[in-house]
Structure 1
Amino acid sequence: MIVEFGLGTSLRRGSYTEAAARAVRAALWRNSINLAEYMGVGKEDMVIDVHIGCARPDRVDTSVLAEVFPYGKTSFTVSEGGLDVARPEGTGNPTVMAQAALIVSVEVPHA
Structure 2
Amino acid sequence: MPKHRVLTEFGMGTSLRRQDYTQAAKRALQDALWHNSINMAELYGFPKEAMIIDVEIAVQEPDRVDIVALLDIFPYGQPSVTVHHGGLDIPRPDGKPTVIANAAINVSFMMERA
Normalising by structure 1, we get a TM-score of 0.92
Q: Which residue of 2 aligns with 1:62?
A: 67
- Structure holding more strand per residue: 2
Pick aligned residue for 2:45 from 40, 43, 48:
40
Superposition RMSD in Å: 1.3
Structure 1 unaligned spans of 5+:
none
Amino acid at match of 2:38: I
| DSSP 3-state at the match of 2:13 | strand
Contact in 2 for aligned 1:49/1:74 (Cα 8 Å): yes
Residue 23 (structure 1) aligned to one of 28, 32, 55: 28
Which residue of structure 2 aligns with residue 87 of structure 1? 92
2:107 aligned with 1:100, yes or no? no
Out of 7, 13, 20, the residue aligned to residue 8 of structure 1 is 13
Which 5+ residue runs of structure 2 have no aligned equivalent? 1-5
Counterpart residue identity of residue 31, structure 2: A
Partner SS for 1:6? strand
Instruction: Give structure 1 regions of 4+ aligned residues with deviation exceeding 2 angstroms.
Output: none
The alpha carbon displacement at 1:44 in A equals: 1.1
